[in-house]
């Protein structure tokens, strides 16, 4: 596997040098400064690539070229945005950056309710707590029809929870849920999110899926022509939020998507933490089934609770069988002969960084450094065993 690291561009407080020191050889980044929907020029991509190369690193994966909501709803200027997207894919291919991650999550990108969930060892993790989410959806946002989406017991718990929150805690909960997380798309106010939700709810699951497939039919031939591999990131979390449709949450969703446009340019991002937030997604079975279409991997673990809540645990200690997953990924590499870029996805906030003000939630240096080192150990051990060399 290729060890990569997500870098948020020249303004990231974690420098390319620090990333090289962490032992990664690949960079995962985006032109975050380009507004969603605009064309990425080949000049801009090449310039960023040269910056990365001059630090001895490669630009392994673009994460992400975000999709304008008009593409997802197939309304407004969607055709223009699709044309722009094709141009960006072509330009990435010309610049020699050949793997593009994207997602088709409606309205909100990845979502958590608590960005400072204290663990027993006094480090901090990201958490999605269903009760808090319901409290926000039903009682703060007051989304129309939200009360029909949850059980009475859950709503009662949520109300109890809300009544104990201070005004600051409520503000923070709202900010965590709708203001957008690092690398995510879309930042909303209470009014604007309601409007966006309405637009998507009318589409329904099959409507949204259809829009995704139509988008893929349009762009995949361009990717194929320019030797670019597209890899869709799953929904995070992989279940309905705000009553919105979800189309990349399960093994069956992934199967349908690959079958809809059967081209090697149409692939997947195996985000272990996202797919793995559902107990019914068997990650090893998914890797075995989609072995030749997984072009990018996020290695992250979670501890799940019965009501859908989860928190991000240590990379090797959680409900996902990380060692089994890595073994399956190495098998996939053995079959295809291609190395898969992986990144330690998120890490805990720990040690000196707890005091720092500028650490992006989930994207601490030390937490990811620890995660990467642990994962590297597993990969190294398997690789040695498979070669038949002593450990």
The residues assigned a catalytic role are 233, 271, 298, 345-346, 363
Among 180, 184, 221, 264, binds ligand DNO (CB under 6 A): 184
Residue 102 makes contact with ligand DNO by CB under 6 A:
yes
Among 4, 42, 91, 103, binds ligand DNO (CB under 6 A): 103
Whether 103 and 246 have beta carbons less than 8 Å apart is answered as no
Q: Which is nearer to ligand DNO, 101 or 219 (CB)?
A: 101
Binding mask 116-155 for ligand DNO (x = CB under 6 A): ----------------------------------------
> Helix, strand or coil for residue 283?
helix
Residue 101 makes contact with ligand DNO by CB under 6 A:
yes
First to last CA, the chain: 18
Report strand pairing: 301-304 vs 310-313: antiparallel
Residue 113 makes contact with ligand DNO by CB under 6 A:
no
- Which range in 35-43, 97-105, 260-268, 286-294 contacts ligand DNO by CB under 6 A? 97-105
Residues in contact with 325: Cβ distance below 8 Å, sequence separation at least 6, in sequence order: 272, 283, 284, 287, 299
- Which range in 103-111, 114-122, 207-215, 258-266 contacts ligand DNO by CB under 6 A? 103-111
CA neighbours within 13 Å on the CB side: how many for 378?
A: 22
d(CA 274, CA 278): 8
d(CA 177, CA 244): 14
Task: Look at residues 129, 139, 138, 126 and name the one whose alpha carbon lies nearest to residue 307.
Answer: 129
Residue 110 makes contact with ligand DNO by CB under 6 A:
yes
Residue 109 makes contact with ligand DNO by CB under 6 A:
yes
Residue 111 makes contact with ligand DNO by CB under 6 A:
no
Binding mask 298-327 for ligand DNO (x = CB under 6 A): x-----------------------------
Q: Which is nearer to ligand DNO, 78 or 363 (CB)?
A: 363
Among 362, 364, 365, 375, binds ligand DNO (CB under 6 A): 362
Q: What is the DSSP letter of 40?
A: P
d(CA 63, CA 81): 18
Residues in contact with 259: Cβ distance below 8 Å, sequence separation at least 6, in sequence order: none
Whether 319 and 279 have beta carbons less than 8 Å apart is answered as yes
Whether 267 and 229 have beta carbons less than 8 Å apart is answered as yes
- Which range in 40-48, 49-57, 98-106, 381-389 contacts ligand DNO by CB under 6 A? 98-106
- Write the DSSP assignment of 306-336 as a string of letters: TTS-EEEE-SSSSSS-HHHHHHHHHHHHHHH
Cα-to-chain-centroid distance, residue 92: 20
Q: Which is nearer to ligand DNO, 362 or 367 (CB)?
A: 362
- Which range in 13-21, 34-42, 82-90, 99-107 contacts ligand DNO by CB under 6 A? 99-107
Among 4, 60, 64, 123, binds ligand DNO (CB under 6 A): 64
Binding mask 217-256 for ligand DNO (x = CB under 6 A): ----------------x-----------------------
Backbone angles phi, psi at 71, to 5 degrees: -70, -45
For the bound state, the minimum distance from the C-beta of residue 8 to ligand DNO, rounded and expressed in Å, comes to 11
Q: Which is nearer to ligand DNO, 93 or 237 (CB)?
A: 237
Residues at the interface with ligand DNO (CB under 6 A):
63-64, 101-103, 109-110, 183-184, 233, 271, 298, 362
């Amino acid at each position: 596997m290729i060890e990569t690291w997500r870098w948020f561009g020249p303004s990231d407080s974690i420098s390319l040098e620090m990333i090289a020191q962490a032992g990664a050889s690949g960079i995962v980044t985006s032109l975050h400064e380009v507004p969603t929907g605009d064309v990425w020029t080949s000049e801009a991509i090449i310039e960023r690539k040269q910056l990365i190369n001059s630090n001895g690193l490669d630009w392994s994966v673009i994460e992400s070229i975000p999709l304008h909501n008009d593409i997802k709803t197939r309304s407004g200027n969607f055709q223009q945005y699709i044309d722009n997207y094709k141009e960006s894919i072509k330009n990435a291919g010309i610049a020699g950056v050949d793997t593009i991650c994207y997602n088709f999550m409606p309205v909100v990108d990845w979502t958590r309710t608590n960005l400072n969930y204290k663990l027993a060892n006094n480090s901090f993790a990201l958490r999605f707590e269903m009760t808090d989410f319901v409290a926000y959806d039903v009682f703060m946002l007051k989304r129309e029809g939200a009360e029909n989406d949850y059980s009475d017991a859950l709503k009662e718990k949520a109300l109890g929870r809300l009544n104990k929150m201070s005004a600051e805690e409520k503000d923070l909960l709202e900010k965590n849920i709708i203001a957008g997380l690092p690398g995510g798309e879309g930042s909303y106010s209470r009014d604007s999110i309601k409007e966006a939700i309405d637009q998507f709810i009318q589409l329904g699951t099959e409507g949204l899926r259809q829009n995704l497939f139509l988008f893929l039919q349009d762009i995949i031939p361009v990717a194929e022509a320019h030797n670019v591999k597209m890899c869709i990131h799953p929904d995070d979390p992989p279940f309905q939020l705000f009553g919105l449709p979800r189309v990349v949450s399960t093994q069956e969703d992934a199967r349908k998507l690959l079958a809809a446009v059967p081209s090697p340019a149409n692939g997947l991002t195996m985000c272990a933490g996202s797919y793995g937030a559902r107990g019914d997604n068997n990650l090893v079975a998914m890797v075995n089934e989609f072995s030749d279409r997984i072009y990018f991997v996020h290695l992250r673990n979670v501890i799940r609770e019965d009501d859908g809540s989860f928190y991000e645990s240590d990379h090797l200690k959680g409900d996902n069988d990380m060692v089994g997953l890595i073994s399956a990924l190495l098998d996939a590499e053995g079959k295809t002969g291609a190395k898969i870029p992986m990144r330690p996805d998120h890490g805990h906030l720990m040690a000196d960084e707890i005091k720092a003000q500028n650490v992006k939630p989930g994207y601490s240096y030390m937490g990811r450094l620890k995660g990467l080192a642990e994962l590297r150990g597993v990969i190294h051990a398997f690789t040695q065993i498979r070669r038949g060399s002593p450990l």
